[in-house]
Structure 1
Amino acid sequence: MAGFALGLDLILQSNATFHRTCVVPETCFLEKLPINPGEMQVFGWDRKPKDLLVWHTQTSVGRLLGDSYGYVFENESRPLSSTQ
């Protein structure tokens, strides 16, 4: 599952829904929005540190490949404590 920032008016102007009949629900949802790829705005790609703009949820072992920039994350080598 992925997360996207969308204006509510864009969603209300469409019949976009998530449903089980689509193998890739994010793609099906985005294709039903009344917008073409040329109208979409990508932002944050040139910033350092990078902002968290899109996320994917998946059950897997977490790993950190760089600085956490203050974000709290959980993995087997660094479990979250109950005080955080």
Structure 2
Amino acid sequence: MAKHKQKRPTRDEFELEELGNQLVEAKDEEMEVILTVWGQTDPVIGRIVALDARTRLVHVEQQDSLTKVPFLDIMKVSS
């Protein structure tokens, strides 16, 4: 019997647009951000270095590594 994967919470267009604006501003200002990511217990902390519209991935630089986070999995952005 297959396990049912827990479904990510749905958000409306306004919430997604606001989230996108926060990510763009953080990238432009080169701010360090704390991303709360759905399905992960630990937040992703670092600077946003790229927003890939084609793959819908947010590239976050953490000290000396790069983490790629799916846009739809980001629940909250704080600085």
> Do these two structures clear the TM 0.5 threshold for a shared fold by scoring above it?
no
Question: TM-score, length-normalised on structure 1?
Answer: 0.25
Question: TM-score, length-normalised on structure 2?
Answer: 0.26
Q: Which has the higher helix share?
A: 2
